[in-house]
A and B are shown apart, each in its own frame.
Chain A
Amino acid sequence: MANILSGKTAVVTGGEGGIGAAICQRFAAEGAQVVSADLRKNGDDKTGVEFREYDVTSETHAQELFQNLQAQWGALDILVNAAGIEIEQTIEETSLEDWNRIFAINVTGTFLTAKYAMPLMRKSDGASIINFGSYDGFIADPSLAAYCATKGAVHALTKAMACDHGPEGIRVNAVCPGFVDTPMLQSFFGSSGDIESLKQAVRDVHPTRTYGKPVDIANLVNWLASDEARYASGQLWVMDGGLTAQVQQMRL
């Protein structure tokens, strides 16, 4: 399926992060022209990926990015809203400032970027928006309250956008990863004691006995971005190694 995205244009927010970078590289390998939009560049130049400094909470940045791409590309086929943060706190520990910050990035960032991308996406022959939900938008991990709430918001926004813009030829889906080996997951582990035994215990809870890699998520995003998925819209695509297919297992 090489070059499945040949001739397509793509913007990936959070394109320098763990999952975002894997998506940029896959898109480029599949023949797309890719812009990685993120706060700062991470590592060396990636072949076929153009970095743009971009803050998803800034309306000005969103306006400018898509004005520039209008001149450069004329149309946008793929938008991936992968920028996101997590805050490891209960609601009681969460300051209003932190609450507003995580919503500004995870929810408002998705809204603003999609809002200003819309005119360019209408000019595509087969536009696809992929938002980042999470299995935490369905069930809760402890001490991730605001994060869980933002992902629930993204899920609902995904369906709303799919309804509103489906008639214009724009598909909208969300991917909902489970545990994926990223800096965010390392940070989540970092708050615990014995990291290696914790990692093994986490693997053991998965029916597949492993947690995911960024490339696993990129595989799904690539398919959703492609014309192979042209009938897929408005759905929340959980990919978690089977984690949430099971009832919690007590240790008997």
Chain B
Amino acid sequence: MINSQMTLRGKTALVTGGRQGIGRAIVDRYVEEGARVMTCGRGPKPDNLPDEVLWATTDVSKPDEVAALCRRCQEDLGPLAVLVNNAGVQIEKSILDTTDEDWDLLMGVNARGTFLMCREMIPHMIARGSIVNIGSISGNTADPGLAIYNASKGFVHSLTRSIAVDHGPHIRCNAISPGWILTDMAEAAFAAAKDPIIAQKDALSRHPAGRMGKPEDIAKLALWLASDESDFATGQCYVIDGGLTAASPLNPGLF
């Protein structure tokens, strides 16, 4: 449906954390749909990034680096239509094991990074510009041993609503809350399971969709939220998880 034309032709988009995983899938899809895209990450430009994608080495937790990114974005892309705050880190600890350095790292990227990016970019966004934040189902209900990650995503959800309320109608702002997406991180978790086959089967049976998510699934929603098709959508956190959180954690079929 959407493939029949270039949905984002002539639009400019800035995607944070575009090196790999969900961020990279969003970058690739936006490019495919005709957008001019800039992305960023903490290291150098990845070798396999298409030439037409602009790269700006940036740590989004640092105000001066975000300000520099904002200037580069204005110079090289011009007025911004779409901002995707995807950069995020995950630390697998309960709060008792979480150090101050862990807090600064995780909240610096997931929370302050999202705040800094929005504060810097909103004044330079076009009318009816669209901000897409990446939240998580873990911001609604808790994953064990991911305490401040869960909390940081709750922050993202709440900030999403505030931006929609404070900056509408000039800006639309929504969040995507992915469920389990098969990234390198998830593959590693399965590989380390006591019985990887049983673990995979168990995971699948919890998904009414019959499969786990792919980064491309999230990119599809990020495309719709960036497009004019979602003109009236703002202030929402859209869950896309293959039905995982529509089902009770007590699935008798699993026992």
- List chain A positions with a Cβ less than 8 A from chain B: 135-136, 139-142, 179, 188, 192, 197-198, 201-202, 205, 243-252
C-alpha spacing A101/B215, complex, angstroms: 44
Q: Which of A140, A142, A252 contacts B199 (CB 8 A)?
A: A252
Contacts of A141 in B (CB 8 A): 247-248, 250-252
Known: A250-B202, A252-B190. A140 touches B247 (CB 8 A): yes
Interface flags for B188-212 (1: CB within 8 Å of A; 0: not) read: 0110111000110011001000000
Identify the stretch in B74-82, B123-131, B135-143, B226-234 within 8 Å (CB) of chain A at 4 or more residues.
B135-143
Could you say which of A142, A202, A243, A246 contacts B247, with CB atoms under 8 Å apart?
A142
B142 touches A140 (CB 8 A): no
Residues in A neighbouring B193, C-beta threshold 8 A: 251-252
Q: Tell me how far the C-beta of B201 lies from the nearest C-beta in chain A, rounded to whole angstroms.
A: 10
Contacts of B141 in A (CB 8 A): 244-247
The interface residues of chain B lying within 8 Å CB-to-CB of A135 are 248
* Nearest CB of chain B from residue A214's CB, rounded to whole Å: 19
Flag whether B253 is at the interface (Cβ < 8 A). yes
- Of the candidates B143, B247, B250, the one having the most CB atoms from chain A within 10 angstroms of its own CB is B250
Per the bound structure, the CA–CA distance linking A142 and B250 in Å amounts to: 9
Measured in the bound complex, the distance between the Cα atoms of B143 and A243 in whole Å is: 12
Contacts of B236 in A (CB 8 A): none
What is the chain A residue whose CB lies nearest that of B179?
A: A247
What is the chain A residue whose CB lies nearest that of B253? Answer: A142
CB-defined A-B contacts under 8 Å, sample of 18: A140-B246, A141-B250, A142-B248, A142-B252, A192-B255, A198-B255, A202-B255, A243-B250, A244-B249, A247-B142, A247-B244, A247-B249, A248-B245, A249-B143, A250-B199, A251-B202, A252-B189, A252-B190
Residues of A within 8 A of B248 (CB): 135-136, 139-142, 243-244
B255 near A139 (CB under 8 angstroms)?
no
> Shortest distance in angstroms between B75's beta carbon and chain A's nearest beta carbon?
42
Q: In whole angstroms, how far apart are the Cα atoms of A139 and B140 in the complex?
A: 13
B246 touches A201 (CB 8 A): no
Using Cβ atoms and an 8 Å threshold, which residues of chain B touch A192?
252, 255
| Bound Cα distance from A249 to B252, whole angstroms | 14
Chain A residues contacting B190 (CB-CB under 8 Å) are 252
